[in-house]
Amino acid sequence: MTHIGPYLLISVISIFAKQLSGSDTYAGMMASIFALSGLFARFISSYLLDHYSIKKTLIISESLMVLASFIYVFCDSYWLAFALRGIQGFGYSIAVTSMSTYIVKIIPIEYRLEGIGYSSLTSSLANVVGPMIAFVILGEKYTGFQSLFIVVLITAMIALLGFFSLKESSKNIEEKNQIHDNQKLNWFSILLPFIILFIVNLTNAAPSSLLSLYAIEKEFNDIGFYFSMSAIGLIISRFTMNKIVKKLGNEKSILLFSLLITLCLFGISQTNALYQLYFIGLILGFSSGAILPLINTIIINRLPDSKAGLGNAIFFAAGDIGFIIGVTLWGSIAGMSSYTIMFIIVAFTSAIAVILSIFQ
C-alpha cells in the first residue's frame, strides 16, 4: 500500500500538471519534484536508520504521505500540487529505504539477490499496475483526478495503520556506532554500478512518466494495457533472473539487461501500432525488473553489513537523481521537438550504460 499510492500518480501526474499549467516543461517538473525531494530524503533516512527504530521512521514518513494525499483531493493549483508531490516524495523515499533495509537484515546473504528481487516486486508491480488503475479511474478524457486522489489517500491510510502494528525493538545506538567505526567504506567499488544504475533510471524516466503523452501524440488509445504487459515482464524477471545471473555472472547479466533496455527504448520511437508497444512493454518490464535488484545487491554486498541502510540509500539515490534529471530533460526535449525524437535520444543515452557494462 505504501507503493501503490505514489505510483497511481507516476504516469498521470504529468497530465494533471499540464491541465493546470498548459506547459510540457511544467509537466516534467511535477514528476521531477517527487524524485528531487526523495533524493534529499535518502540521506536523511540513512541517518534515521542509524539512530532510530524502523517502526518510528515508517510511521513519520507515512504520516507525511497521508497529509499530502488528503490535501490533493481539494487541489486546483499547479504550485500547490507541486508542493504536495514533493512532500509525498519525501515521505515515500524514507519509508521505502526503511522497509528495504529491514528486509535486507532478515535475509541470509546467500539469498540476498532473490530476497531483494522479490521484495522489490511490490514496488515494481505498483509502478506498472498503478498507472493501469489510474487510467481506468481517470477515464478517456482524464477528468477523474479527484476520485484518483481519494484512492491514493485510502491506500496511504491503510499503510499507516499497518506500520502502527509493526513489532520492532529499539536499536542500541551506542553499539551500532561502535560497529560503524571499525568498518571502512570502499566508495570506488560501487562507483561503476552507481553510474550504470543512474543511466538506467535516467532513461527509464521517459516511458515511466511521459509515455502517456507520447501515446496522445501518436493517437494511441488504451495505453494502459502497456503497463499490464510491463507488469507481466516484471513478474517473469523475478522468477528467472537468478538462473540467468548464476549462468552468466553479474557483469554479463548487467550487459544483457542494459542492451535489452536500449533496444526497447529505441523500439518505442519506431512503433506504428499499439500491439508493438505492448510487446516492448513486456521486454522492457522484464529487463528493468531484472537489472535493478541485481545492481542493488551488488552495491549492498560491496559495503559493510552494518551499512545496509546506506547501501539502500545509495541505490535509491541513483534512481532519484536519474529520474529527476530524466523527466525534466526529456520533457523539455519533447517540448522542443516531439516525443518520437525524444525516445530516439533516450535510446542513444541508454547505450552508454551498455558500453560501461562491458568495462565492469
Q: pLDDT (tens digit, 9 = 90+) per residue, 299-332?
A: 888 887 777 778 888 888 888 788 878 888 998 9
d(C-alpha 155, C-alpha 2), whole Å: 7
d(C-alpha 350, C-alpha 82), whole Å: 28
Cα 292 from chain centroid (whole Å): 10
- Distance (Å) of CA 263 to CA 314, 350, 354: 27, 9, 11
Tell me the three state secondary structure of residue 26. helix
Residue 106, pLDDT above cutoff 50: yes
Residue 43 is predicted with a pLDDT of 79
Q: Which one is predicted more confidently, 129 or 250?
A: 250
Is 188:31 a contact under the CB 8 Å cutoff?
no
Residue 175 is predicted with a pLDDT of 41
d(C-alpha 89, C-alpha 39), whole Å: 9
Percent of all residues in the chain with a pLDDT value above 90, rounded to a whole number: 37
d(C-alpha 341, C-alpha 27), whole Å: 18
Residue 168, pLDDT above cutoff 70: no
Percent of all residues in the chain with a pLDDT value above 70, rounded to a whole number: 94
pLDDT band at 267 (very low <50, low <70, confident <90, very high): very high
Highest mean pLDDT, choosing among 113-117, 143-147, 168-172, 258-262: 258-262
Q: What are the tens digits of pLDDT across the range 209-240? A: 888 888 888 888 778 788 889 888 988 998 89
d(C-alpha 45, C-alpha 327), whole Å: 24
d(C-alpha 51, C-alpha 47), whole Å: 6
Residue 57, pLDDT above cutoff 50: yes
Q: Which domains does the chain have, with CATH numbers?
A: 4-166+173-358 (1.20.1250.20)
Residue 227 is predicted with a pLDDT of 81
Q: Which one is predicted more confidently, 332 or 43?
A: 332
Q: What is the mean pLDDT of residues 161-185?
A: 60
Residue 284 is predicted with a pLDDT of 95
d(C-alpha 6, C-alpha 162), whole Å: 17
Residue 60, pLDDT above cutoff 70: yes
Q: What is the mean pLDDT of residues 273-279?
A: 91
Highest mean pLDDT, choosing among 71-80, 177-186, 220-229: 71-80
Cα 255 from chain centroid (whole Å): 21
Residue 172 is predicted with a pLDDT of 40
Is 0.75 surpassed by the pTM of this model? no
Highest mean pLDDT, choosing among 105-114, 290-299, 300-309: 290-299
- Least confident among 107-111, 162-166, 180-184, 297-301: 180-184
Q: Which one is predicted more confidently, 306 or 12?
A: 12
pLDDT band at 171 (very low <50, low <70, confident <90, very high): very low
